[in-house]
Structures are given as structure tokens and as C-alpha cells.
Amino acid sequence: MKRRERGTALLLVLWTTVLLAGLLAGVAAASRSHSQAALYGAEHARAELAAEAGLAHAVAGLRAPGLQQQWVPDGRPYSFDFDGARITIAVVDVSGLVDLNAAPVELLRGVFQAAGADAARAGQLAAAVVGSRGGTSNGPGRPFRAVDQLVRLPGMDMALFTRVAGAVTVYSGRNFPDASYAGPQVRAALRGVGTAQAAALVRARRARAAQRGAGNGQAFGAVANGPLVAGYGGVVERVFSVAEMPDGNRADLDVTLRLALTGAQARPYKVLDWRAVSGAAP
């Protein structure tokens, strides 16, 4: 009888040991998971701060006093390392974007098609933009205050919005963009060419050194005294800053800002729109 009791006690001890071991393993796994989550959060916070540092670096480049040092806001990439992060920045002058409140329906249709919409859907979306900003017999129009308002249009989905968001603005006030700063989608819509051809034209433009000048304001935005402009298209710029950490963490900023003139006794810039997005760079 005592032998049986000793056997039962031994089994209880063994089961208790197994349960405790399992419990300790679960605690260790949970602790490791929390540690990894904390590390991931810390690295993502570092990536976000690095992206903001990229924004500050872009402002300094745009306001540089010398033409040779001044950044060109036509979407060309600028890259550098900061605190372990690889930062890539592209700046686009808003005069090179399609203004939702000023562009004609044909241009809007073209930019939606360049973003991947078929002709019927692009026409429907362009008409919806014009109808929204201009009003109908049912009520007054409501100008677009932010690019994100496109998501609410009938026929729009997130996939198409993500592709078109980098090509439009609400801050230029131009009915036709300046091709000196335009990206592939806008260039395709302006010229009526395919996106591949437009992308090749934009790559060739970005490979050239900048020339001082200004867009002449005509429909296709030809530059009066050269093929490219170095920061003279206006004071409102859209900055895409992407920071990537060694572990794969990434932070993306899409910021529209109004620059102060060089030497002005004021803040160097004023933020008009701030979006933290995934895959922001054009």
C-alpha cells in the first residue's frame, strides 16, 4: 500500500514538474514576444524620427543660398544615411501636380487613366471631381481641401487612390501643371502619351543638371530659358521622405509645406498637409 502511495506521489511530482516547466516556457515565450514587440516599436520610432530628419534636411536643401547646392523639386531622389537609417527623399513642386480644384476634366481623366483606371472609370471619376468642386442643381460645390477626399468619390478604391495620390494636389491653383516638375503620370496626362514613354522622359529630365529659370505658365509648362528649373517654381513643395532601418522597419512621410524665403525672420516652413503613409515616394 505504501509502495502504491509512493508511486502516486512520484507521478504527482512528475506531472507538477511538467506543468511548471510548461508554465515557465510560456512565460519565457511571452516575455520574449513582448521584448521583440518593444524592440520593433523602438526601431519603428527611430525610423519615424529619421523620416522627420529627412524632411528637415530637404527644407535645408530647398532653401540653400547657392544654386549648386539647392535641391531640385522635380521628384529626383536624394539619399543619405542618418543614425543607422537609410533615408530617401523626393521633392515635387506643387506646380507640377494636377490641382483637383482647377484642372479641366480632360486632364483629370488623363491622370486617372495614367494611374491605371480604364477610360470609362477615369471619365466617371473626372466628372465626379468637377461636379464635387463646381456644384450641381442639387447644391453648391465643395472645393477639395485635401487629397484624401478623393477616397470618397464614387468609383474610387484604395488601390487606385494610392497610385494617383502622389500626382494630385489642392495647393497649386493652376489649371495645367508645369511639366518641368511633373512626374510620369502627370506628364502622360499632359502629353497624351503612354506611361512608359512619360517615365522615360521624366528619367531623362531628372538625369540632367538643373538650370535656373521659371515655367512660362503655358499648358504644357515649357521652361522659358531651359529644360529644367532648380527650385524656382514656387514656395509650396511636397516632400516624400522614406526612412528604412537595417531590420526592415520603414517610415514614410508625405508632407506639403510652404517655404519661407531664405533669410526671412520667420519659421523656415509651414506645414499645409502631413500624411504618414506606406510607400509614399513617387
Domain regions of the chain by residue span: 47-97+172-276
pLDDT average, residue stretch 112-128: 95
Reported as a pLDDT band with limits 50, 70 and 90, residue 17 is confident
DSSP letter assigned to residue 223: B
Stretch 231-246: mean pLDDT:
80
Would you say residue 6 has pLDDT above 80? no
pLDDT confidence bin for 227, thresholds 50/70/90: very low
What count of other Cβ atoms lies within 10 Å of the Cβ of residue 146?
A: 14
**Residue 157: burial class (beta carbons within 10 Å; 0-12, 13-18, 19+):** exposed
If you compute the radius of gyration of the chain from its CA atoms, what whole number of angstroms results?
A: 27
* pLDDT surpassing 90 at residue 221: no
How confident is the model at residue 7, as a pLDDT?
A: 62
Would the pLDDT of 115 be above 90?
A: yes
Give the residue with greater pLDDT, 139 vs 240: 240
Query: What integer pLDDT is reported at residue 226 of this predicted model?
Result: 37
| Residue 241 contacts residue 85 (beta carbons within 8 Å) | no
The strand pair at 98-99 and 168-169 is best described as parallel
Give the tens place of pLDDT for each residue, 136-174: 545 556 889 999 999 999 999 999 999 999 999 999 988
pLDDT higher than threshold 80 for residue 220: no
Answer whether 0.85 is exceeded by the pTM. Answer: no
Q: What pLDDT does residue 219 have?
A: 36
Q: Which pLDDT value is given to residue 211?
A: 59
- In sequence order, the 6+-apart residues with CB closer than 8 A to the CB of 115 are 160, 163, 164, 167, 185
pLDDT score recorded for residue 9: 67
Q: Is residue 48 over pLDDT 80?
A: yes
The pLDDT value recorded for residue 208 is 82
**Percent of the chain scoring above 90 in pLDDT:** 46
Q: Which residue has the cell 472609370?
A: 121
Residues 6+ apart with CB under 8 A from 89: 54, 55, 57, 58, 77, 78, 79, 239, 240, 241, 242
- Summarize pLDDT for 61-79 with one digit per residue, the tens: 988 877 777 888 889 999 9
pLDDT at 229 over 50: no
Which pLDDT score is estimated for 68?
A: 75
Q: What is the mean pLDDT of residues 33-56?
A: 78
What's the average model confidence in pLDDT over 29-48? Answer: 68
The answer on pLDDT for 218 being more than 70 is: no
For 27, residues 6+ apart whose C-beta sits below 8 A from its C-beta are: none
The whole-number pLDDT of residue 54 equals 95
Tell me what pLDDT residue 83 has: 86
